[in-house]
Amino acid sequence: MIGSSSTSKLDLPASLGQGTAGGYHTDASTTPYQVIWTYTPDGGATALTFTCSLNGPRGITIVPSKTGPAAGNWVLGEEPRYDGNVWLVRFYYT
């Protein structure tokens, strides 16, 4: 699953497995899966990316990265929160 700032819709399968809610409006996966979200503030030359690896109902790893000519002008941050049933993650670009 890959999301982009230029994409108005993120297509997801109806179900990724069994278990409790796994976020992204899908059921939890019984196997690891990955979501990549990229924001391009300058039409594609600079990429600000968060790679989220989800594993089961409670495992999450978030790796921020930035590339391109304006990458040094940006600070990336994330705020993951597990509410007992699902992960809620906010991404920040400043």
Q: For 9-54, what is each residue's pLDDT tens digit?
A: 555 555 544 444 444 555 555 556 778 888 899 989 999 999 988 7
Residue type, 75: V
Residue 57 has pLDDT above 90, yes or no: no
| C-alpha–C-alpha distance, residues 65 and 91, integer Å | 12
- Domain total of the chain: 1
CA distance 89 to 68: 25
Q: Tell me the pLDDT band of 84, cut-offs 50, 70 and 90.
A: confident
| Residue 34 neighbours by CB distance under 10 Å | 13
Model confidence pTM above 0.85: no
User: Residue 63 belongs to what domain range?
Assistant: 2-93
The C-alpha atoms of residue 86 and residue 76 are separated, in whole angstroms, by: 23
Q: How far is CA 23 from CA 17, 67, 72, 77, 91, in A?
A: 12, 27, 31, 19, 15
Q: What was the pLDDT predicted at 68?
A: 97
Q: Is the pLDDT of residue 76 over 80?
A: yes
